[in-house]
Amino acid sequence: MAIKKEKVSKELILEAARNVFIEKGFDGARMQQIADRAGANKALLHYYFSTKESLFEDVFKEAFSTFAPHFHDELLKVKSFKSFLVFFLDIYIKLLLNHPYLPLFILSELQRNPDKLAQIVKGIVDFELIQQMIKKEMDDGNVVKMDVRELIVNILSLCIFPFAGRPMMQRVLWKNDEVGYVNFLNQRAESIYKFLESTLFINN
């Protein structure tokens, strides 16, 4: 590929590494495959990123940063938890629809190497402000009182699991109807909101 500019190669490799690592995980990824997909040579990967480990870390850092819920100012400026929730679900589900393999990748790799990757993760996510905001809403009597962290886990569960668990859920519940499952995912933001808003049981 003699046509390519200098800086472009590095980006092509990173792009290829992103795809391969996220699809196969660190252990399953092959430098050769990354090179192939980047249209480059294996040696070039080492020229730019020295080791597989180091290339992976770059990918992971970026991926985690994408995956972690971010609470920008606009999101925190909403006037109630209810509107925050609508806003957040919309943004976050859209993100997951665009990066469906991210959840399982992040969770698996964090499991594989918690100590090292925890370092990388440090400082990227901050649930402090959002926890305070929810707590206030509970104190004000706008939201049912419960452990705030638990509530956050519940919301994230409902968002993330349908993506991370897709290989299983689509098969056993949707009988491998791919289109049907995609529809389900597309409506997910709205569904979660409705589910949370309603009571599950009618009597008693």
What residues make contact with a second copy under the rule CB under 8 A?
24-25, 27-28, 68, 82, 101, 104, 106-108, 110-112, 114, 118, 121, 125, 127, 141-144, 146-147, 149-150, 152-154, 156-158, 160-162, 164-165, 167-169, 171-174, 176, 184, 191, 194-204
Selection from a second copy, DNA, none that 53 binds (CB < 5 to 8 A by kind) is DNA
Residue 140: both structure tokens together: 């004000």
Cα(72)–Cα(78) distance, rounded to whole angstroms? Answer: 11
Cα(188)–Cα(68) distance, rounded to whole angstroms? Answer: 18
Give the type of residue at 25.
G
Residues 4-23 that bind DNA (CB under 7 A): 4, 6-10
Rg (CA), the chain: 20
Cα(64)–Cα(121) distance, rounded to whole angstroms? Answer: 7
Interface with DNA (CB under 7 A), residue from 51, 142, 183, 187: 51
Interface with DNA (CB under 7 A), residue from 11, 23, 32, 178: 32
Between CA 91 and CA 101, with CA 97 as vertex, the angle to 5 degrees is 120
Residues that bind DNA (CB under 7 A): 1, 4, 6-10, 29-32, 40-44, 46-47, 50-53
